[in-house]
Amino acid sequence: MTQRLLNTTTKSNLLRSILSNTIRQQNVALFGTSSTQWFRRFLSPKEEKQLYMGITSLFREKLKEKSTPSNQSYSNMIDQVILGTQSTVTSSTAIAETSNYASGFDYSPMAPLTLQQLGQLKQDLDTAGKAKDLAQLETLWHQLQKAGQQIPTTMYNRLIRGFLACPTTQGLAMAKQVVDSMETQQYRLPTTRTCTYMIQAYLKRQLPLEEARPYVAMLQHYSLNKLRTPFDCSVMLRYYVECGNAHAIDFLWRDTMRYIDVIQPGPALYTQYVEWLLSSEASLELVADAARSLVQRFGRPSSDSSAIPPANDITAHTSWPDYQVATWLNVVRLLAHSNGPPSYCTDAEKLMLCLVNVNDTITAPTPTTALDNVTSPSTTTATKETALSSSSPSLSSSSSSSSSGNILTLTRTQGKQAIQDIITAYLEQAQDLKVLAFYYRLRKSGVNEEAFSNDLTRAIGKVIKRIETQQEWNTTGSKAIADELELLSRS
C-alpha cells in the first residue's frame, strides 16, 4: 500500500515537471519579435524614415512607368479621331507619288498626311462635287484608296455625296461602288451619314424602295440607327412615310423627342412630321403634342416678345419658309374647331402667337396685314423637298414671282380665319378675359388691325364692355390675366 502510494506520487510529480517545462518552452521565442528590440538593433529613426521614403518613391516611379503607355495610347487615339491620321504609318497605308493629283502635293511613300493636306483634300472633294465632275471625283477616289486608313470615313462620305450630286445614273453607280469597297476591300465601317446619303438618293430619284432597303438593313446591322442629326432624321422619316410604316415613324419621332437637345430638330422636321399626321388622319392628340413641342422649342413668351432671343434660336436668324407657316396655320384651325377639351384652344392660341413671332416682316411698319409673308400650301414640290432636306430652312423668294399677290391674299385670308376661329372658340367657352388677352398679345406682336374683320372687332368691343360692367378684376381666377392686360396696355 505504501509502495503504491509512493509510485503514484512520483509519477504525478514527474508529469507536473514535464508539463511545466513544456509550457515554459512555448512562452520562449526562438527569435526576438519585439518591435522595439528589432528596430533598436538594426534601424535608427533616421534610417527608418529613409527606408519609408525610398519605398514610396520606388512605388511612384513604377506607377508612372505603367501609366505612361496608357496615356500615350489615349493620346494616339485622340489624334487619330481629330486629325484622321495615325501616329505611325505602315507600308500598306503609305501614299505613292502621283503626278495627276490636282492639288500638287508631293505624297512620297511612307509619308503620313498632314492636317493641311487633309484640308486640301476635303476642299478638292467639295469643289469636284459642286462641279459634278465625275472624272475628278474618280481620281480623288483613287487617292483616298492609296492613302488607306489615314483617311477618315467622313472623307468617303463627301466623295459619295459628290457622286450622288451628278444627275446621271453613273453617279449613283459610282457611289454604290464606293460603299461596297468600303465594306469588302477596306473593311471600313460605314457611318450613319453613308447610309442616309444613299437612301436619300433613291428617294430623290423616285427609284423603287426595294433597292434602298440594303442600306436600311446596314443601319440596323451596324447599330447605326440611333439618329442624332436633323438631316438623318428627315431622310429616314421620309423613307418610312413612303413605305407607309406608321410604327417606324412613331418610334423615330419618340426617339427624336427623347434626344431633342442632341438632335435639335428644326421647323422643317416638325412640319414634315405634322404633314404626315394630317395626311394619315392621326389622332388629334398627336397633332396637339407636336404643336406643343414646336411652341416649346421656338415660341417666346408674349409678355417678352421684344426680348432678344438666344443665339441658338433658329427664329433669331431666319424666317420660316412660307409652306411651313401655312401648314401650321391649318393645325391652328384644326385645334380651334375641335370638340376636344378646352386646352386644345389654348394650344391653338400659343401656336398662332408662335407663327406670328417667327415671321421677320410681321413687325415691319407696312400697311399690309400681319401675315403678308405667308404663302399657301401649294408651294412647289421642289422648294418643299429642298427645305425638308436641309437642317436649317431658308427664306423663300416666292413673294417676287408674278403670282405672289394671289398667294399672299389667300394666306392672309387663312391667317384671319385662324384668328377668328380662336376668338370664336373662346367666346363659346365664355372666356372673355382670354379673348381680350389674345387680342392684346396679337397687337403687341405687331399684328395689324386689318387682320381683324369688322364682325370680330365688334365682338371684341362687346367683350370689353361686358368685362367693365361685370367688375371681375379682383377675382382669383382673372387677377393674373388682368395684370398682364394692364402691363400690355401701358407698353
**8 A C-beta contact, residue 428 and residue 342:** no
Short-list 271, 438, 413, 425, CA closest to 349: 438
Residue 21 resides in a domain: no
Residue 275 resides in a domain: no
Q: For residue 25, what pLDDT is reported?
A: 52
Do 195 and 182 lie in one domain? The reply is no
Residue 277 resides in a domain: no
Do 334 and 450 lie in one domain? The reply is yes
Per residue, what are the HEC states of 12-37? Answer: HHHHHHHHHHHHHHHCCCCCCCCHHH
Q: For residue 170, what pLDDT is reported?
A: 94
Do 253 and 322 lie in one domain? The reply is no
Do 298 and 364 lie in one domain? The reply is yes
C-alpha 336/C-alpha 315 separation (Å) is 25
Residue 215, C-alpha cell as written in the block: 442600306
Residue 491 resides in a domain: yes
Mark which of 186, 204, 236 sits at the end of a domain.
Answer: 186
Amino acid at 301: P
- Count the domains in the chain: 3
Do 107 and 207 lie in one domain? The reply is no
C-alpha 77/C-alpha 272 separation (Å) is 39
Residue 39 resides in a domain: no
Q: For residue 76, what pLDDT is reported?
A: 58
In a 13 Å sphere around the CA of 92, the CA atoms on its Cβ side amount to 2
Do 200 and 141 lie in one domain? The reply is no
Q: For residue 439, what pLDDT is reported?
A: 92
> 332 is in which domain, residue-wise?
293-394+403-491
Q: For residue 413, what pLDDT is reported?
A: 74
**DSSP structural state of residue 392:** S
In Å, the largest CA–CA distance within the chain is 148
Do 182 and 214 lie in one domain? The reply is no
Any idea of the CA torsion for 478, 481, 486, 487, to the nearest 10 degrees? 150
Mark which of 166, 186, 206 sits at the end of a domain.
Answer: 186
Residue that has been written with the C-alpha cell 374683320 in this structure: 453
Residue 18, C-alpha cell as written in the block: 514535464
Mark which of 163, 186, 209 sits at the end of a domain.
Answer: 186
Residue 107 resides in a domain: yes
What is the residue-wise DSSP string for 241-272?
HHHT-HHHHHHHHHHHHHTHHHH---HHHHHH
Q: For residue 109, what pLDDT is reported?
A: 45
Do 215 and 358 lie in one domain? The reply is no
Q: How many distinct helices (H) and strands (E) make up the chain?
A: 21, 0
Do 159 and 193 lie in one domain? The reply is no
Residue 321 resides in a domain: yes
C-alpha 391/C-alpha 143 separation (Å) is 30
Do 163 and 298 lie in one domain? The reply is no
Do 92 and 231 lie in one domain? The reply is no
Q: How much is the pTM?
A: 0.68
Which run of H or E residues covers position 382? helix 381-389
Residue 434, C-alpha cell as written in the block: 382670354
Residue 43 resides in a domain: no
**8 A C-beta contact, residue 85 and residue 79:** yes
The gap between the terminal CA atoms of the chain, to the nearest Å, is: 132
Burial per residue of 61-76, b for 16 or more beta-carbon CB atoms within 10 angstroms, e otherwise: eeeeeeeeeeeeeeee
- Listed in sequence order, the residues at least 6 apart from 366 whose beta carbon sits closer than 8 Å to its beta carbon are 372
Per-residue pLDDT of the chain (491 residues; tens, 9 = 90+): 555 544 555 656 656 666 566 555 555 455 455 555 554 556 777 777 778 777 877 777 777 776 665 655 666 566 555 554 333 333 333 333 333 444 444 444 436 888 898 999 999 999 999 999 999 999 999 999 988 888 999 999 999 999 999 988 999 999 999 999 998 888 898 999 999 999 999 999 999 999 999 999 999 999 998 999 999 999 999 999 999 999 999 999 999 999 999 999 999 999 999 999 999 989 999 999 999 999 999 987 544 444 444 444 544 446 788 889 899 999 999 999 998 899 999 999 999 999 988 864 343 334 433 333 333 333 333 334 433 333 333 323 333 344 444 445 555 677 789 999 999 999 999 999 999 999 999 988 888 888 888 888 898 898 888 887 875 555 554 565 556 556 555 54
Do 473 and 333 lie in one domain? The reply is yes
Residue that has been written with the C-alpha cell 427624336 in this structure: 256
C-alpha 326/C-alpha 355 separation (Å) is 9
